Amino acid sequence: MPVPGTVVRPPLLDWGVSGRALPGERESGDLHVVSFFEGGVLIGVLDGLGHGPEAAAAARVAGEVLQAYADEPILPLINRCHTALRKTRGVVLSLASISTRDNLMTWAAVGNVEAVLLYADRAARPAREIVNPRSGVVGYQLPALRATVHPLAAGDTLVFATDGIEDGFSSKVSLDLSPQAAAADILNRFGKNTDDALVVVARWWGAPP
């Protein structure tokens, strides 16, 4: 219970996740990482190639690298994952690193994990940004990498989805829902039954002034 007279601030980041394995499989090859570090937070969604235990094993290897080195810049971090994944099936991924010092997000993607930034300001133009993925597989064939930077404002929302989610979901995301409710809604409405599926929704509130 807050002390009388204090100001209760929202969390730095409010996030939710919803996912499921391909029907008939015991584990999913899709994995998420949300890792806080001094000065920021790393958000990542990984999709091990194929499905089943080998896909899940590849995703776990990458997830362990991301957790251990979350404070590193995005592109060196992807290179670390590439080295660690050479003896696995490999993964595709999208990563976003957000700085609490200046409310800037840097993101990059390899393969078909979709990532969308939805602005809280309903009058913003454009109303959204989409990560520019590079074709390839981390651990097998790494493309020339490119990261882009976007400023964030309180209430801006990031949505990550693996290819077990149907195309076009991002235009139907409700910013009025909590991140957890939005993630569950996307999976329920757009999840395929032909692949593993995972959705992460993260709403940025920023560091207190």
pTM (2 d.p.): 0.91
Whether residue 3 lies inside any domain: the answer is: no
Are residues 35 and 67 in contact, defined by beta-carbon separation less than 8 angstroms? yes
Whether residue 146 lies inside any domain: the answer is: yes
List the beta bridge partners of residue 35: 42
User: Phi and psi at residue 81, in whole multiples of 5°?
Assistant: -60, -40
- The total number of structural domains in the chain stands at 1
Q: What is the pLDDT of residue 9?
A: 45
CATH number of domain containing 45:
3.60.40.10
Whether residue 144 lies inside any domain: the answer is: yes
Whether residue 4 lies inside any domain: the answer is: no
Whether residue 1 lies inside any domain: the answer is: no
Residues 78-125 pLDDT 10s: 999 999 999 999 999 999 999 998 999 999 999 999 999 999 987 777
Task: Decide: helix, strand or coil at residue 137.
Answer: strand
Whether residue 209 lies inside any domain: the answer is: no
Domain range spanning residue 138? 13-204
Whether residue 120 lies inside any domain: the answer is: yes
Task: Decide: helix, strand or coil at residue 64.
Answer: helix
Closest CA to 192 of 28, 1, 15: 28
10-residue stretch averages of pLDDT, the chain, 209 residues long: 44 93 94 95 96 95 97 96 96 97 96 95 84 94 95 95 92 90 96 95 82
Q: What is the pLDDT of residue 173?
A: 87
Residues 178-188 pLDDT 10s: 999 999 999 99
